[in-house]
Structure 1
Amino acid sequence: MLRKLLTFQFPKSFSFAIGLTLFFGSFPVLVANPDLLEGDIYYYDTVGQNRSRPPQRPHPNNLHVPTIPAKQEITVFSNAATDKTAYPYIQTAINFVEGHFSFKAFLADGTEVSYSTRGEHVRYSKCFGELCIIISQKNVLGVSNTSTEWEKGHIFGEERYEVAVGHRAALVASDRKLYLYNSYTNHWETISLEQETLRSFANLYDKVAIITSRRILVIDLTTEAQFEQNLLLRRIYQFELRDGFINFYSGDKLWMFRHQTEAFEEVDLTD
């Protein structure tokens, strides 16, 4: 009887299950966790105490990982001082078409002016009035109805720009410089900002008004002449461009620029 007990045999199915356990027991089994981000895999070890490994992140060269470009800010400039200019209706008399690695401008007389953008990344473009401008990572470009080619101005690795486009002039402002496009002369003028910031910009016909934290600049586009008025630590709160003069208001003081005399006149408004 004792011999029968000692020689008792387990069922075959139970022996087969034990055999599978012994065979696979030394191998880890991969288990995907659906609650984790795609590509995250944890390991479950069937030998000893359960443990998990850190998520396996995709390799940087994995084609499934999206490439995030560097942030490049170009915004439309808004005047800090109130612009009270009564602008007339302005019809845009120029247009461009973006082609394959090129921009083709079509002037009012039907002339086509092309510029190759091969090797450049266009970040901003606009047509208004008599001109069009383009900003790439390397250049600022302008064309007008009196152009024979796109006029190029060089920028120097700055990422943040503010843009203002007028009827006859366009302004591209960085933290360090102002790039002014003159549609009459098809020329980019560079104005340095030394310890000052741009506050306002306006263009009416052939006159441009620029207000910074330290001065007023009036530019005649036809002659490229510049006229400057120091603000003497005062602040311009409102300005207005008219046909014969430009008014700049600073509290109880007014600076009037007369087109005929091309000079600033200071007026005390408390009298």
Structure 2
Amino acid sequence: MLRGFRTFPFFTAVSFAMGFYLTVPFFPMLVANPDLLESDIYYYDTVGQNRNKTPRKPNPDLHVPSVPVKHGVTVFSNIPNDKTAYPFLQTTINFVEAHFAFKAFLSDGTEVSYSTRGEHVRYSKCYGEICIIVSQKNVLGVSNSSTEWEKGHIFGEERYEVAMGHRAALVASDRKLYLYNSYTNHWETISLEQETLRGFANLYDKVAIITSRRILVVDLPSEAQFEQNLLLRGIYQFEMRDGFINFYSGDKLWMFRHQTEAFEEVDLTD
């Protein structure tokens, strides 16, 4: 046995080295952002950045679709060129969305409320003298001359195009047209039989509707409808004026006169 051999300093040095080795890696490394040389210096902790993080997979038993089904409501855009010179239109009616209700405020201060319980509102807007709402099962309209929201029923429709006028509004699906008349506070349903909507315009008390097969002019106060077959021709331009409406189709013009409430065919090649 060796005398005078001291083991304490040796084991102390070894323990100190091992403790230093085990302790240092657990201190976070502070790295400066080199892009911020003249600004504040930011530091971030690099410990654990390279850990393997496997994304959680959705439970297959939940049957949640990856892309939610959306019922589309879009703003309608005319295909024929609309050359109507519209005057400045001031919106004189407004609404607010309350708790499960829409409250419309008419120009005379009257408040008209509609409960939306059980309905999902897809579209709502006020313009000119009217406001409309489109839900998953109803179309609703109110005007400054009405006392309540007028309801029109829609069933099995998923896609709509909405067009707003000063006195009338149109909600168009693939199968039907729903026309709101502010004068009568009424929804008129117009069926689309093997035809598609091409144009819509409203100037004062007249509405012009153009489809792939016909022209339809509606007088709002009387609800009278006047129709012209297009004879397989297309309308490329139309114009609404105070006394007449012009519909142009190549070398042919159909003019609707307000005074006679009839269409006149004009050959532009003469």
User: What code does the residue aligned with 1:137 have?
Assistant: Q
Cα offset, 1:68, TM superposition = 5.7
1:125 is paired with a residue whose SS is strand
Separation in structure 1 between the aligned mates of residue 114 and residue 184 of structure 2, nearest angstrom: 19
Aligned-residue offset at 1:61: 4.1
Q: Equivalent residue for 2:264?
A: 265
Distance 1:67 1:141 in 2: 32
* Aligned positions of 1:1-271 closer than 5 A: 34=52, 36-37=54-55, 39-40=56-57, 57-61=58-62, 69-271=68-270
Counterpart residue number, 2:32? none
Q: Deviations over 1:86-140 (max 9, x none)?
A: 0000000000000000000000000000000001000000000000000000100
CA distance in 2, matches of 1:207, 1:268: 25
For the residue of structure 2 that corresponds to 1:105, the secondary structure is strand
Shift of 1:257: 0.2
The residue type paired with residue 184 of structure 1 is Y
Tell me the distance in 2 between the aligned counterparts of 1:111 and 1:69.
40
User: Normalising by structure 1, what TM-score?
Assistant: 0.78
In the alignment, the residues of structure 1 paired with residue 155 and residue 220 of structure 2 have an alpha-carbon distance, to the nearest angstrom, of 25
Between the two proteins, the alignment pairs up a number of residues equal to 220
2:7 matched residue in structure 1 = none
User: Take 1:66 and 1:225, find their aligned partners in 2: how far apart are those partners?
Assistant: 47
- Give the deviation of 1:69 after TM superposition: 3.9
Q: Which residue of 1 aligns with 2:47?
A: none
In 1, Cα distance between equivalents of 2:101 and 2:151: 14
Mapped to 2, the partners of 1:80 and 1:107 lie a distance apart of 33
Identity of aligned residues (%): 82
Gaps of 5+ in 1: 1-32, 41-56
Secondary structure at 2:202 match in 1? strand
Shift of 1:71: 1.1
Query: Matched residues in 1 for 2:247 and 2:259: separation?
Result: 17
Question: Over aligned residues, Cα RMSD in angstroms?
Answer: 1.6
Change (3 A) 1:112 1:68: farther
Q: Which whole-Å CA distance do the structure 2 matches of 1:60 and 1:136 have between them? A: 31
Q: Tell me the CA shift for residue 36 of structure 1.
A: 3.3
Alignment deviations for residues 27-49 of structure 1 (CA, whole Å, 9 cap, x no partner): xxxxxx83532x25xxxxxxxxx
Q: CA deviation at 1:67?
A: 8.4
One-letter amino acid of the counterpart of residue 58, structure 1: N
CA drift at 1:70: 1.8
| 1:182-234 alpha-carbon deviations (Å, 9 max, x no partner) | 00000000000000000000000000000000000000000000000000000
Distance 1:270 1:189 in 2: 38
Task: Give the AA of the match of 1:34.
Answer: N
**Which residue in the other structure is 2:3 paired with?**
none
Tell me the distance in 2 between the aligned counterparts of 1:190 and 1:35: 57
Alpha-carbon distance in 2 for matches of 1:99, 1:61: 34
Q: Take 2:139 and 2:160, find their aligned partners in 1: how far apart are those partners?
A: 11
CA apart distance, 1:60: 4.1
Q: For the residues of structure 2 that align with 1:244 and 1:187, how far apart are their CA atoms?
A: 25
Distance 1:162 1:100 in 2: 27
Residue 142 of structure 1 aligns to which amino acid in structure 2? G
